[in-house]
Structure 1
Amino acid sequence: MITARLILLLGIVGVTSANEVGLGGKVLVFPYETDFSFVALIPQKEMDLRAFTLCMRVATELEGERQIILFAYRTPDYDELNVWREKDGRIAFYLSGDGAFFHLPPITTFRTSLCLTWESRTGLAAFWVDGRRSTYQVYKPGHTIRPKGTILLGQDPDKHLGDLEAVQSFVGEVTDLNMWDYVLPRSQIQALHYEHKITKGNIFDWATIEYQLNGNVMVVDDD
């Protein structure tokens, strides 16, 4: 169900579409940078998380010293879970404060299978690129991601209900975004990379995901 917060955000940016369900076999295309194009995602369960696995396939031709937002989840006062390509090319994620930064193979015009895992109990965090795990970092043990926020692809809301910036927007393609409220084992992350069937995401399942398109975002067949 769309929350009142999401309805207000959609109204502020000025362009909305009907609620849609399911992106199996589809790709989201963000053709050029804007301060108004995004996709709002509606989770299947509250984002009250002490662990997660977030996976997607992503491609971009953006180069140079430019931030690119890959995933944004914000509650009224905090960026609860943001994933970025930083200006220096590192991939980072932020849980309500300073981030954890990883030197990974670059995201390019050729699609990259990217997963992120984190658990509160130990603080262990890692990225997975095309089925290969980075080194672990210990990041925010004991932390909890708070619920009742807004989840966007394509833009970073600097406030809960707006302040979108074209120079941080995503340009490129996203597909196969799935999320679980626990850390997937290596075998399942690698199986996902090779497009084998695994347990469906219990927060986001690309085949049944609920979303809204806003601005100039295209849904195309995954040829």
Structure 2
Amino acid sequence: MKRVLLIFILLSVKFYAQTNSELGWLPKITVSLPVSNSIKWVNSVEVREVVCDETIKFSHSLLDITSIISVKTNLQQSLNFGYVHRFEKGESIHRFLQQYNFITNINTLKVAHRLGFEQHIPTKENSFFRLRYRFALQKALNGERTDVNEMYFKLGNEYVYNFNKESIELRLSPYLGYKLSPKDKLELGIEYRGGNIIDVYDKHRWWIRTSWYISI
């Protein structure tokens, strides 16, 4: 699994040599707070920093502040209702989201699915709507489950459909995770975002992701 992540990083460097590519860093902190046995409140802060955009440059792109109420309907399924406040280039963007999540297990492999609908309301442009489907595979690198001070591998694949542009964006993201304690973990990986796959890949975006997940 570690080799898969290494190969993906090497490929990202190769493909970045193409024109019309972008490279950046996405640090994120997520804090989950239980409200009841079936409800939790999830808050996160994510920053997007651009390192290269065809030429080397370092610039701040945006800030996302997210708050989600997650309702577990049973052991394998949950519903999310959330709000994202984005600050980008002097503009304030409001995003509302609704998600359905379900998990299946195939032996020691965890398979997570997420179907979501989003409404984006910018202050300077027209509103737009997106439909998203994501599935992720997760596997412990030691034994059948990931214990404290152990690592795991996760591979995510997502498709984002923009109703207004009638476009589909592909996202692919391999991660290595490390469980620091029973209530927090770190993930490091590369996320690739392609352009409109219906027509042509008009932009190749590569993001180095570092995520810290904390449960209170």
**TM-score w.r.t. structure 1 length?**
0.31
Larger radius of gyration: 2
More strand by share: 2
| Normalised TM-score (structure 2) | 0.31
